Structure 1
Amino acid sequence: MKFSLNSAAQLLALAAAMAAAPGASAQSAGQWTLKAGVNKITPKVTSGDVSAPALPHSKGAVSSDTQPVLIVAYGLSDNISAEVDLGLPYKHTISGAGAIEGTGKLGTVEALPPTAFIQYRFFTPAAKVRPYVGLGATYAYFQKATGSAQMTAITNIGGQATTFKIDNKLAATLQAGIVLALNERWYADLAVTKTFLKTKVRFSTGQTQDMTLDPLAVSFGIGYKF
């Protein structure tokens, strides 16, 4: 399943325009919910330069990825919830940009970004449609970083194969979403998140590169209210 920011915004606007009809049983104080779905993460990269002796303006780009997610939430009150988002690692391809654009794949890395939110849910628990906003913290954990021959050619031409790692970081995340009650227990959920993530790439050659990733994520899932 593929998502885009435009399609997510259209769905959010459509759902928000619906009247808050009574008769459903949305999340309320003391209630647990469990949601399963898919989440697409698209890094919005602002890349620094690979430090010397790399070619000046050697920058990087990072691909998007989609993975399953599992989300658990608990109603602290009728309008305030705590949520934890978990899932499988996202695999991202790192490519050349700037002066080295077109060099192809420089490497791959897996990112695991568990996130915890505090949310405010609008309307009453009986509303059929409930928009919400959230403020959270994401811990971006990077693993299985693998460099390519192109990376070695850029950072250590004629030398040993270059390896790299990316610093793990704690980052703030904003969230906006909407819940549509399907019946007394089941619901559909669409959410958009924006994480403000700056990190550093460290190469085995001693070179470094600052990276602002600021990923945008769009998720859709089906949930159950206990």
Structure 2
Amino acid sequence: MNVSKNVVKMLVAAGALAAATGAMAQSKGQFAMSVGVNQLVPKVESGAISAPALPNSLGDVGKDTQPVLLVNYGLTDNISVETALGTPYKHKLYGAGAIQGTGQLGTVKALPAIALVQYRFFTPDTPFRPYIGLGVTRAMFMKETGSFAMTALTNPGAGVPTTFSIDNKWTYTGQLGVQMNVDQHWYANVAFLKTRLRTDVHFSTGQYQHMKLDPNAYILTVGYKF
């Protein structure tokens, strides 16, 4: 998915429509819902798997794109609250450092539950309205599944498959976005979110690994104001 090209296309198209219609933006007491896609891209800085693994046995995490539903409510003309609902993101796990090139080590599903408070600039009658947000996130991990390659690296010769778990964490998220109104009810939305996320991986072999994930989220949605 080429996020940057899609963002530019949506900004141009929705901005032109908004300028033509002079639509109203979200205001106090108004609910809004939008649906679209979210690409979650971990920005990984990995710790090493503890002994007896090879020194500098690091990890990496792949990106995933899933549908997303955003629900927003205007507390005032400029302050709103928002939450995101969606399906879990499935991430592939790979080796890095001394174990780079060993193939896929496993998979994990992640479900970030998020609640944001936003400040929307300008007045509700502005068709092109940027906003910033800050909120709390609960990062939940599930269905952790290791591969043969993971077992070979962490428990060679034992014949017992290695399993693992990842700690759930509370953390915080920052947001930048813009809402572009098409008419009185319909709008397009583009948002970037950055989450601070540090967690630990625990292996059934007794080994562990610290991971700095700090994911970026790129959201494109189309919405309706009630």
| TM class by smaller structure | over 0.9
Aligned letter for 2:101?
A: G
Q: What CA distance in whole angstroms lies between the structure 2 residues aligned with 1:9 and 1:153?
A: 45
Deviation of the 1:3 alpha carbon? 4.0
Structure 1 residues 207-218: aligned runs within 5 Å: 207-218=207-218
Aligned letter for 1:206?
A: G
Tell me: CA distance 1:48–1:14, structure 2 relative to 1, closer, same or farther (3 Å). Answer: farther
| 3-state SS of paired residue (1:142) | strand
C-alpha contact 2:192 2:217 (8 A) present in aligned 1: yes
| 3-state SS of paired residue (2:183) | coil
Aligned counterpart, 1:157: 156
Aligned counterpart, 2:100: 101
| 3-state SS of paired residue (1:150) | helix
Structure 1 residues 45-194: aligned runs within 5 Å: 45-159=44-158, 160-194=160-194
Unaligned runs of 5+ in 1: none
C-alpha contact 1:3 1:40 (8 A) present in aligned 2: no
Aligned counterpart, 1:195: 195
Deviation of the 1:25 alpha carbon? 1.5
Structure 1 residues 18-37: aligned runs within 5 Å: 23-37=22-36
C-alpha contact 2:7 2:220 (8 A) present in aligned 1: no
Q: What CA distance in whole angstroms lies between the structure 2 residues aligned with 1:78 and 1:113?
A: 28
Tell me: CA distance 1:6–1:139, structure 2 relative to 1, closer, same or farther (3 Å). Answer: farther
Number of residue equivalences: 225
C-alpha contact 2:112 2:138 (8 A) present in aligned 1: yes
Tell me: CA distance 1:94–1:112, structure 2 relative to 1, closer, same or farther (3 Å). Answer: same
Deviation of the 1:171 alpha carbon? 1.3
Aligned letter for 2:31?
A: W
Deviation of the 1:193 alpha carbon? 0.4
Q: What CA distance in whole angstroms lies between the structure 2 residues aligned with 1:114 and 1:46?
A: 22
Deviation of the 1:24 alpha carbon? 1.4
Instruction: Note the aligned Cα RMSD (angstroms).
Output: 2.2
